[in-house]
Structure 1
Amino acid sequence: MRRPLAVTATALLALATATACSSEGTEGAGGGGGDPENAKIAFLMPDIASTRYELYDSPLFEARMKELCPGCEVIYNNARADASRQQQQADSALAQGVDVIVIDPVDSTAAASVVNTARAQGVPVIAYDRPVLETPPDFYISFDNEAIGESIGDSLVAHLEETGAQGGLLQVNGSPTDAAAGLIKQGIHNAIDDSRFELLAEYDTPDWAPADAQEWVSGQITRFGDRIAGVVAANDGTGGGAIAAFKAAGAGVPPVTGNDFEVAAAQRVVAGDQYNTISKPIKIVAEAAAEVAYQFVQGETPESDTTLFDTPSRLFEPTVVTLDNIAEVLAESEQITPADVCTPQYADACAAAGIDVG
């Protein structure tokens, strides 16, 4: 499957001001059965393995909803990697009379039951970050996950070619129940399958758990040793686990990829432990989700740019971050600051990278 074209952050303006294309809403959309200025919106996140949901997604979504609709209420829950708990949280939100559900599913297939239950009550569902399979929701908002996989893979392969590296690659994927992880996985294969670097082994990491990634990579270090030229890890957590495995084995750390631009990952990039990560400013997707939710409660039909998994979708373009451009990315970031990254332990490395702490 080829990835659809992504859009840039400038499209947010069009999203924020978009109006209904017709008087009929998306199939199954309730359009906000009550007072749209006092609506309830459920914001259901999947886990705490990644710090982003608690630190960025939830507060940014709530802040934008408050700007759009001061009288609206956001009901936030985190499923902590438990699909059954997420279903219970969705059921509870529906019992509280929510007008829209925004869900980042723990399990992209199991979440179809959330869509079915909500649709039976006329409540629209927005898939956020990760798609929902089986039963298409009413809208999907995310960064282009296949493009993320391609970007980190292409970046790593180009670096290995430039340095004349020999050997093969390990591929550390995300959760097998996460369809977004499947897209990242496909993007990585798009990038590395035709390269001269053999894929030595790959692993789907349950629940994106860094500890599981570390354990698997440890086994591959024993198996392949210095044949490992690089590791394509699907996010910063699994990348951090891979790096920890090499350090625990007393082996040199080969170039390792990541995704999410977490503070710890940015520090590893500055220190030379992690080769790249992906900056995908969460503010973009969090605010877009709030704007689409508000359109639904007003009875409008949000505009999409493409269709993915039979769902009207809006996808945003990510940015690869390496040591070469991290100073520029940090200077422009609204998510993490140079001061967050350049703690005393990393002060010298930050100075060498040209990062201005101010």
Structure 2
Amino acid sequence: MNYIYRSKKAVKKNRMKILLILTLIFFVTALIIFIFCYPKFDNKKQQIIKPAKVRIGFAMGTLKEERWFKDRDILIAKAHERGYEVEWVNANENDVEQINQVKYLLSKNINILIIVPNNYEKCSGAVNLAKKRGIKVISYDRLVKNSDIDVYISFNNYKVGELMAKWLLKSVPRGNYVFLLGDPGDYNVQMIKEGYHKVLDSFINKKQINNILERYCYNWRKEYAYNYINNLLEEGKRIDAVLASNDSLAEGAIMALSEKRLAGKVPVTGQDADISACQRIVKGTQLMTVYKPIDRLVDLTLEIVDKLIKEEPLKSVYMLNNGYKNVPTFFIDPIGVDKSNINDTVIKDNFHTWDEVYITK
């Protein structure tokens, strides 16, 4: 009987030990689950893990013209407001350097590439590098031809040419016209040319307008514009109007005209609303410029960046064939500006201030 009593006592003791061990295992397991899963149970104290910032690579072909500084500064500022980081480079009009700079941007692990091609053909190699890495590419303000760009965003350069032609027609409905084109490697130049010819060809065919010179100015250098105008004047040619494709070329043409005391007598167009051009307009030595509100271009570009990053569909009005494919295209309309509306456009938008435009020296 004593043996049986002791056996029962031992069994009871073992059961207590097993129960204690199981209880300990339960609490340890519960503690582990609590430690690792607590953020899921407590939403208020849950740690929010933010994704890494989107990094934009901004590859610029040039900073020679005043307007490109505005593009750079505005894009960087507005991108930062959206929480994006920006790595920017400037190729200084060097095609090989632009490809090397895109390689550099790719090494910085960019998520998207915004590119202003120095040359619309030669830049295709830089685009190919990005696409091989699975990076979306935005062709900004200048089209990259024969490449797999995802989207093209620009001002409507056909309308730029049309505006210049219409302004000159109002001032000089007949006479000798000079056409100063920009760099042939910039596809915008071809679009501008198509735009002004659309307006003027009927007048040229009727001999109301004489096309006495139509030349490219390589790298958009005003020295070419100066030499073309100067040579014509030295040859004794009468010039009645000058369609200069941007304000830098307009400046070169006006320099040559001023040496013959013709500045202000021969209407000259321009593009970009550079501060010096706006000053010439109010002084009367330049007829007009084409104002392109860069804020709007940058806002549209960053909206497209948002969609590309989120892989949302792009709803474009235009599709433009770049030689490789039909590219979704977004255009912003430019604005013709002369003395009559400069206050209500360039100055009202604070693109330049009143003091800057009307400064007297």
TM-score by length of 2: 0.80
**Displacement after TM superposition at 1:219 (Å):** 1.2
Aligned partners of 2:185, 2:219: CA distance in 1, in Å?
A: 8
Aligned partners of 1:99, 1:197: CA distance in 2, in Å?
A: 51
Aligned partners of 1:36, 1:191: CA distance in 2, in Å?
A: 52
Aligned partners of 1:48, 1:214: CA distance in 2, in Å?
A: 21
Task: State which structure, 1 or 2, has the greater radius of gyration over its C-alpha atoms.
Answer: 2
Q: Where does structure 1 differ by over 3 angstroms across 4 or more consecutive aligned residues?
A: 249-253
| 1:333 equivalent in alignment to 2:349 | yes
Q: Are the equivalent residues in 2 in contact too, given 1:169–1:229 (CA < 8 A)? A: yes
Aligned to 1:88: 100
How well do the aligned residues superpose, as a CA RMSD in angstroms?
A: 1.6
Q: 1:220 to 1:88 in 2, by over 3 A?
A: same
Aligned to 2:163: 151
Instruction: Count residues in correspondence.
Output: 303
Aligned to 1:296: 308
**Displacement after TM superposition at 1:217 (Å):** 1.8
Aligned to 1:244: 255
**Displacement after TM superposition at 1:344 (Å):** 2.5
Write the mapping of 1:222-233 to structure 2, written as runs, cut at 5 A. Answer: 222-225=234-237, 227-233=238-244
Aligned partners of 1:343, 1:241: CA distance in 2, in Å?
A: 21
Q: Are the equivalent residues in 1 in contact too, given 2:131–2:148 (CA < 8 A)? A: no
Q: Deviations over 1:25-51 (max 9, x none)?
A: xxxxxxxxxx86512111111212211
Secondary structure, aligned partner of 1:344: coil
**Displacement after TM superposition at 1:301 (Å):** 3.0
Q: 1:91 to 1:199 in 2, by over 3 A?
A: same
Aligned to 2:77: 63
**Displacement after TM superposition at 1:250 (Å):** 4.0
**Displacement after TM superposition at 1:167 (Å):** 2.6
> Percent sequence identity over matched residues?
28
Q: Residue type matched to 2:67 in 1?
A: R
Write the mapping of 1:1-358 to structure 2, written as runs, cut at 5 A. Answer: 38-54=53-69, 56-69=70-83, 72-161=84-173, 167-195=175-203, 196-225=208-237, 227-252=238-263, 253-309=265-321, 310-345=326-361
What stretches of structure 2 of length at least 5 have no aligned partner? 1-49
Q: Are the equivalent residues in 1 in contact too, given 2:128–2:148 (CA < 8 A)? A: no
Q: Are the equivalent residues in 1 in contact too, given 2:254–2:268 (CA < 8 A)? A: yes
Q: Residue type matched to 1:327 in 2?
A: N
**Displacement after TM superposition at 1:224 (Å):** 4.6
Aligned partners of 1:116, 1:278: CA distance in 2, in Å?
A: 33
Aligned partners of 2:320, 2:145: CA distance in 1, in Å?
A: 10
Q: Residue type matched to 1:217 in 2?
A: I
Aligned partners of 2:167, 2:261: CA distance in 1, in Å?
A: 26
Q: Deviations over 1:123-149 (max 9, x none)?
A: 011001110101141001100001100
